[in-house]
Structure 1
Amino acid sequence: MPRAVVIGGGIGGLTSGIALRRAGWEVTVLERAPRIDPVGSGLAIAANALKALDTIDLGDSVRKLSRLQGEAGIRRPDGRWLARTSSDDAEARFGDSVVVMLRSTLMDLLADALGADRLRPGTEVAGVDAERGVVRTSDGELEADLVVAADGIRSRTRQALFPDHPGPAYAGVTAWRGLIPRGELAIRSSESWGRGLVFGIHLVADDLVYVYATDAMPAGTVSGNELEELKRRFGHWHEPIPALLRAADPASIIRNDVHHLATPLPAYHQGRVALVGDAAHAMTPNLGQGACQAIEDAVTLAHHAGGDLAAYTAARLDRTTKVVRRSMSMCRLTRLRNPAAVWLRDTAMSLADRLGPDLVLRSMDDLLSWEPPARPA
């Protein structure tokens, strides 16, 4: 039985381990942290990733543990809708819709599907010999026919394999995320755009709302109270944003600057090593595709892992590079502060929406119509 060692116990790493197992590989997933600890609050799983999860028999479980996004769209700070779509329209076009869920729920599902005996938390990776397929760890060396580098945006494996690559670049925005009790509030999925500001809302459980926000500002800006920063920026926007912020626990709000891999890698493999997820193509969150593309990577890698890894690079590099660039283009639109530029942006979105939801959905065809490779044997 061929052996794979996966570096990193995030979404990309766990899904890779599961997909490889289903394809007949013996798998060990190494995680530096002492336990699997999902960073973040909520996430969206779009049609393309649901199709990928179906190939490893997890799609239905994700659908059951999540909520349909329902009607969603983009609003102005005063609440006026600029663009809207619905789950029914998306499902009719792409064969599936978008679901939203707690990141911790997805991580628990993936960890259970992998199996505790295949996961080694608290294991530090000191280095990788790509040609021999040797992973040096705090507990000794592991030999593998395939090494999967799923060690995130600051991937040490990527840095070792491609030392001339410039690494992550600041996207120009900082981001807040949090989970807030719903209470009696009426919640509809939406993302509201202002001048350089974004506030998103998704109901991820009957009593829990996932919120996120971004602001265009210098990297490394420090704040003493992140909830107060959110109230200062968004407390006067349309409801239920102010009500949600009043109900929030300051300890539930996390913040980080957003980085991405602006320069594509020359390949997603070298020797016996393949890179997946943020280690290969970290992107801004504007398209909600970070986790989705990592899931696509995992099932595609499992399909090609028994042969030349160049086929994996060929299947993933061009597609993910386009997604990274498209997501960054959307990020630039949200960063606009000039009143005239913001007016033009909002007017264009409103006009597109009036021409029909098909126009908005058609713009996502190449992204959401993706089909996974054949189911692993």
Structure 2
Amino acid sequence: MASPFRVVVVGAGVSGLAASHCLHAAGIEHVVLERRSEVAPPEGASITIYPQVLRALHQLGCYEPLTKAATPHDRAWTRWADGSVAANSGLYDYLKENHGVDILPLERRKFLEVMYERLPDKNVVRTSSKIKEIKHLASGVEVELSDGSIERGDMVLGCDGVHSFVRSLMWDQAEATSPGLIPAKEKTAFKTYWKCLIGIGPPASSLGGSDSTMVHNTGYSHLVLAQPHCTFFFVFFLLDKPFNASDRVRYTDEDAEALAATVADDPLSESLTFGDLWRRRVRGALISLEEGILEHWHHGRIALAGDAVHKMTPNIALGGNTAIEDIIVLTNHLHHLLQTQPRPDTASLAKTFAAYQAERMARIKWATNTSGLMSRIQAQTTTFHKLGAWLLVRLPDRGAADKLLADYIRAGPKLDFLRVQGFPRGKLAWGDEGGDGRGLGGEAVVRSGAHQGAVGRLLLTVGAALGVAALASATRHVLFPLVAGA
């Protein structure tokens, strides 16, 4: 009897653990290789899961345990640099009304723990397994590990992050078999535009029990997410000059301390400064943030997902969600293929991988561009972004939920071979329930690849929600003075 189709997943982070869940649900044999000695190391800060991804995680039996590990956001505060309140929004309530469930913020480490503990078979995850080489055979792949052991399968799925080793091996394979297929410029497509102080501190009553707070500054911004048991914090600094992500910068604790000192006096509420939060931190670090989208997500029997092929700023928390969505869509295509070809050849896999990428690309461009746009608005990096900041805080809560987010959430994918049973319903139908996930606004931002172009389109969307009078007022009182002083 022929051996079953098998996937070798590299990386046991957000996308890697999601892959294990989805592949198991599809009845696809697999192994997950993780180079670290543990699945959920004490690193990073938070991850926020959107309703469309929670719907898919509900299909996998993970939604309920995640709700027990997180406290939904209450209010969304926006403040100016002096600490004054620009907006106090009930956006999260409207999102739940629209889509049936809350957006869930939780510690990234806790998310990984829940995903790992809910695996139907934990034995598929191999820790301390660093890959050394991938060999393409006539009917499969061999993945050699640093300890000399071999994992065999029919394909490799690279879920190993922005500095993906699988991607590097895929590029080498492509150059050997199809010289010039992947141009040199694609290998530097990821650019580092930001550095970010991230961390976790104790709860702070002045930030609210479960509120989010965003503080506008010039050239940088603060984001603070309160939870009953802790506080997640981020400070995003736009670099003077971006550089290739491959030229990695490893910041030290001293670098983090020095940068934190420059913003220590920034108010986060009426009685709390960033310095107060930083001094009481449980952990904190200074990291680089990359942006970009690759044009080649696969070659031969290798496919990539998540940060290995697209990277966006975390200001609106779409990175982890898009990574999980990648896995959902790829699993759907693999499941469909295997119904007719239990052991597909390389050409059939290539068509399946291409279909996966094609289905994802427009949505990834929207998420990446919108994330970058919002990051720049929050940091008020140009005149146009300052205008965007002024307008956005005047957008009604309902307008923000309906005009800027509803389309994106409604169009999220699910596992198409599993039913959705018992998931809470909102007032809006999902795109796969008869709607197309479009038509509520948001198209303005989707089509623009340039951040400044996206600002103009975003202003049209916001203006439509606010009304002509408000947009005219914004132009008269904000745009003209800014341009005059630029």
Asked if TM exceeds 0.5, the reply is yes
Asked whether the equivalents of residues 78 and 393 of structure 2 are also in contact (C-alpha less than 8 Å), the reply is no
SS in 2 for 1:9: coil
Q: Return the letter of the residue paired with 1:86.
A: L
Residue of structure 2 aligned with 1:345, choices 388, 398, 401: 388
Cα 1:93–1:346 shift into 2, 3 Å: same
The aligned residue for residue 283 of structure 2 is 252
Q: Which residue does 2:317 correspond to in 1?
A: 288
Whole-Å Cα distance in 2 between the matches of residues 40 and 148 of structure 1? 23
> Which AA in structure 2 matches 1:106?
F
Structure 1: distance between partners of 2:411 and 2:364 = 12
CA contact (8 A) 2:158 2:305 kept: yes
Q: How does 1:41-60 map to 2 (within 5 A)?
A: 41-60=45-64
State how far apart, in whole Å, the 1-side matches of 2:265 and 2:91 are: 27
Q: Which structure 2 residues correspond to residues 95-114 of structure 1 after superposition, within 5 A?
A: 95-114=100-119
Task: Provide Cα deviations, 1:308-366, integer angstroms capped at 9, x if missing partner.
Answer: 3333222222221221122122223234346x55652332123323xx53245421123
CA contact (8 A) 1:182 1:207 kept: yes
- SS of structure 2 residue aligned to 1:352: coil
Q: Pick closer, same or farther for the CA change 1:349–1:18 going to 2, 3 Å.
A: same
**Residue in 2 aligned with 1:226?**
256
Query: Cα distance 1:310–1:342, how it changes in 2: closer, same or farther (>3 A)?
Result: closer
Distance in 2 separating the partners of 1:122 and 1:241: 45
Structure 2 counterpart of 1:24: 27
Compute the displacement of 1:287 (Å): 2.2
Distance 2:270 2:253 in 1: 24
Tell whether 2:218 aligns with 1:209.
no
- 2:174 paired residue number: none
Change in CA separation of 1:95 and 1:362 when aligned onto 2, cut-off 3 Å: farther
**Deviation, structure 1 residue 236:** 3.4
Match of 1:12 among 4, 12, 15: 15
* Alpha-carbon offset, residue 275 of structure 1: 1.1
Aligned to 2:203, which of 174, 178, 182?
A: 182
Matches within 5 A, 1:120-131: 120-129=126-135
Which residue does the alignment assign to 1:153? 162
* Residue aligning to 1:367: 408
Report the CA distance shift for 1:305/1:283 in structure 2 as closer, same or farther (over 3 A).
same
Give the deviation of 1:127 after TM superposition.
2.3
1:72-87 counterparts in 2 under 5 A?
72-77=76-81, 78-82=83-87, 84-87=89-92
SS at match of 1:151: coil
Please tell me whether the aligned partners of residues 267 and 273 of structure 2 are also in contact (alpha carbons under 8 angstroms): no
SS in 2 for 1:105: helix
CA separation in 2, counterparts of 1:185 and 1:350?
Answer: 21
Name the structure 1 match of 2:93.
88
Distance 2:390 2:204 in 1: 34
Question: Which residue of structure 2 lines up, in the alignment, with residue 193 of structure 1?
Answer: 216
Deviations 1:80-124 (A, max 9, x none): 124624322101222323111011111111112234311111111
For residue 309 of structure 1, give the secondary structure of its aligned residue in structure 2: helix
When the two chains are superposed, the root-mean-square deviation of aligned CA atoms in Å is 2.6
Q: Given the superposition, is the C-alpha separation of residues 322 and 6 from structure 1 closer, same or farther in structure 2, using an over 3 Å criterion? A: same
Measured in 2, the distance between the counterparts of 1:359 and 1:304 equals 33
Whether contact under 8 Å (1:40, 1:177) holds in the other structure is yes
What 5-or-longer segments of structure 2 have no aligned partner? 172-181, 243-248, 338-351, 419-486
Equivalent residues, number: 371
Q: Percent identity?
A: 20
Q: Distance in 2 between matches of 1:41 and 1:244?
A: 16
For normalisation by structure 1, the TM-score amounts to: 0.89
Take 2:123 and 2:144, find their aligned partners in 1: how far apart are those partners?
20
Deviation, structure 1 residue 278? 0.4
- Pick 1 or 2: higher relative contact order, CA cutoff 8 A, min separation 6: 1
> How far has the Cα of 1:136 moved from its partner?
2.1
Say if 1:18 and 1:128 are closer, same or farther in 2 by CA, change over 3 A. same
Q: For 1:341 and 1:231, how far apart are their aligned partners in 2?
A: 29
Partner of 1:118: 124
TM score, norm. by length of structure 2:
0.70
Sort the Cα spacing of 1:365 and 1:264 in 2 relative to 1 into closer, same or farther, 3 A: farther
CA shift for structure 1 position 70: 1.8
Please report how far the alpha carbon of residue 263 of structure 1 lies from its aligned counterpart in structure 2 after TM superposition.
Answer: 4.2
Q: 1:284 & 1:333 partners in 2: Cα distance?
A: 12
Residue pair 1:154, 1:168 contacting (<8 A) in 2 also: no
Counterparts in 2 of 1:69 and 1:61: CA distance versus 1, 3 Å? same
Contact 1:4 1:147 in 2 (8 A): yes
**CA gap 1:88/1:184 in 2 versus in 1, 3 angstroms:** closer
Structure 1: runs of 5 or more not aligned: none
Pair 156,65 (structure 1): closer, same or farther in 2 beyond 3 Å: same
Q: Secondary structure at the match of 1:191?
A: strand
Structure 1 range deviating more: 328-337 or 142-151: 328-337
1:108–1:263 distance in 2 versus 1, CA, 3 Å: closer
What CA distance in whole angstroms lies between the structure 2 residues aligned with 1:146 and 1:101?
32
TM superposition shift of 1:195: 0.9
* Structure whose alpha-carbon radius of gyration is higher: 2
CA offset digits 1:261-291 (Å, max 9, x no partner): x24323x332322211101212111221111
